Amino acid sequence: MKLGRRLGVKNPKLQDIKQRYEELSERGYHMLMHWKQENGCKATYQILNSALRHKLVQRKDLAEQICYNHDIPDVPRNHFDVEVCRRELAEHYKRTAKVPTSVWSKICAVNIHEIYTRLSWVKAEQTPAGSSRAVLNHYTDVFAENKNGLLSNRILVQGETGIGKSTFVKKLAIDWAELDENRLTDEQRAILKKFELAVIIDLKKVSKYQNLRDIISASHIFAD
């Protein structure tokens, strides 16, 4: 079911299809039908074509057979597919959504939803007129417009060592990856949906690299 994962079909559904149908052709058919029903007009031949050609699927033959007669634009070699990138980022954050419970061992790790403690947030802004501080109801309020209708280009999260800054970043990433899981309010989801991509990079691990390509490669975010 590698193709299903590339198309964003959730694992429980893939397992359900696998148990219901023995023939690979039947599994593939019902997986594609589910993908089409879930995504509607967003389930395009272009996305299917990209998924079939993905390194982990390697079915260029099927891509040419299924998608050949449909209006798929010629994609340049260096074309960047935002939707495919978004799905791969989301999958990466879901796979790595674990937090160590011991500083001595990485084996003792639990899902972040089981251990995360909501933090108290205070937003401090520096303006020509002076500084201001406001208590926030939720961390997504950090990304909302200020009273002048402006968005911050840079946000610095401050806190004492061990208070949970790194864990918060992991929580933000998994919330962005699981926007359909109903863990957030509609308003909070709307704020995170503004970000087409959320790339989380541990600067400690990539400090020796000089360009973005090498930094992303060293972060092991993408399968290829």
Domain spans of the chain, in order of start: 1-69, 82-219
**Residue 111: per-residue pLDDT:** 79
User: CA 54 → CA 107, 198, 203, distances in Å?
Assistant: 31, 21, 28
| DSSP SS3 for 126 | strand
At residue 71, the pLDDT reads 53
Contact yes or no for 1/31 (Cβ under 8 A): yes
Tens-binned pLDDT, residue by residue, of the chain (224 aa): 688 888 888 888 888 888 888 888 788 888 888 888 888 777 887 888 888 888 888 888 877 777 665 554 544 545 567 777 888 888 888 878 777 766 566 666 787 877 777 777 887 777 677 777 778 888 888 887 766 777 777 788 888 887 788 888 888 999 998 887 778 888 888 888 888 888 888 888 888 888 887 888 777 776 54
The pLDDT score that the predictor gives to residue 123 is 78
Multiple choice CATH, 1-69, 3.90.1150.10, 1.10.533.10, 3.10.20.740, 1.25.40.10:
1.10.533.10
Pairing of strands 109-111, 98-100: antiparallel
Token couple for 152 = 């911050």
Tokens at residue 104, please?
């001595």
In this predicted structure, what is the pLDDT of residue 101?
A: 67
Two tokens, residue 179: 């926007």
